Amino acid sequence: MFFWTKNGFSFIKAIKYSSEQDYIEFPIKECPEFNNILSYYFDNIKGITGSAPKSEKIISHNYGYYVELDINDTYFRTYLRNEKVEDDRKHPRSMWILKIHEIAKDYIFSK
């Protein structure tokens, strides 16, 4: 899933692995909701970048979220396993990831 902003407009695009073919490429769509993701990040930057959500579970083959944000002089990268997002939903980083997840899910299933 890729989000970007150009000339004040935000966009989304996805490339998804498919067992029937190598991958499925989704079309580029305008995504004004991405501005909410950016606003939440900058409003909660200390909570997002400071500590990580916690979980007592360890799941061997669970999926995770890899997020990289590069805007002007701001760069942040994180990988967060799903069980940490689910078990610590009130942590600012989990809340940020869940916002991204909801927009991505709506985009993929609206095709």
Residue boundaries of the structural domains of the chain: 32-109
In degrees, rounded to 5, the angle at the alpha carbon of residue 25 between the alpha carbons of residues 97 and 32 is 45
Quick check: 53 pLDDT over 70? yes
Q: What is the mean pLDDT of the chain?
A: 84
| pLDDT above 70 coverage of the chain, percent | 95
Q: Are 19 and 101 in contact (CB under 8 A)?
A: no
In the block, which residue shows the tokens 């190598």? 22
Q: Are 94 and 48 in contact (CB under 8 A)?
A: no
Q: What is the pLDDT of residue 61?
A: 64
Q: What are phi and psi of 49, to 5 degrees?
A: -90, -15
Mean pLDDT value across residues 17-35: 85
User: Tokens for 84?
Assistant: 């940490």
Quick check: 43 pLDDT over 90? yes
Q: How many helices (H) and strands (E) does the chain have?
A: 4, 7
Q: Are 45 and 39 in contact (CB under 8 A)?
A: no
User: Tokens for 106?
Assistant: 């709506």
